[in-house]
Amino acid sequence: MNKLFCNTPALGIIGGMGPMASAYFQELLVRFTDAATDQQHIPSILLNLPQIPDRTAFILGESSDDPAPALLAAARTLEALGAGAIAVTCVTSHCFYDQVAPQLSIPWLHAVRETAAYLKRKGVKKAGILATTGTVKTGLFQRELEKAGIGWSVPSPERQQDVMAVIYGDIKAGRPPDMARFHRAETALREAGCDACILGCTELSLIKREHPLPGCADVLEVLAAAAVRARGKTVKGFE
């Protein structure tokens, strides 16, 4: 199927979680690819699937609607369409990586693992984790940071409520982010000794698109750079 369009296997993208983050990811792919012509950019196939069940709700036991089968079905569709690798533009979906990835014949690029490796290259000693409650509860970032030899801290329950309000109450709802709530959570992590904070939800990546956030590592940017490298291209504009 991929030969119908070009000789290079495409990047498969499972998106829609949320839709704007998926659109921004594609923008980052273009921005980070060192290309002088249209033809030098990465072919991609986006499955924009906002109906995939809410990942955090399932993890927290607030819903019995398991997102793993939908993620697997989407990944297999991308395989059939000729994708050579898959990126999932939802961090919390990576909680289902161990269920889905072994059933695929192509790699699922692990955004959390890539972020830990990026922070290690940058010499970060302790990272603050700004993510959904589902991601925090499963220890997804904590495990990968520990493997990389990096310390970590998560927000207090009160500050985690601020993070969730920004993700769900603001960005997913199509409203401007409450930057006061965001900065309360970020500042608390800095005061806990973190020398960097992780924007560990792709909705939070949309904040960085509009607001300067020095010292914050954006998981969507890291994933986009990893995807460019995975498809054999040179990354530009990202360190």
Active site residues: 90, 201
Provide the edge-to-edge strand list for the sheet that holds 151-153: 151-153, 126-130, 196-199, 216-218
Gap between the Cα atoms of 164 and 168, Å rounded: 6
29 sits in which H/E element:
helix 19-32
89 contacts 21 by C-beta, under 8 angstroms? yes
Gap between the Cα atoms of 136 and 132, Å rounded: 6
- Measuring CA to CA, how many Å separate 221 from each of 126, 195, 217, 228, 239? 20, 19, 8, 11, 10
Gap between the Cα atoms of 54 and 92, Å rounded: 9
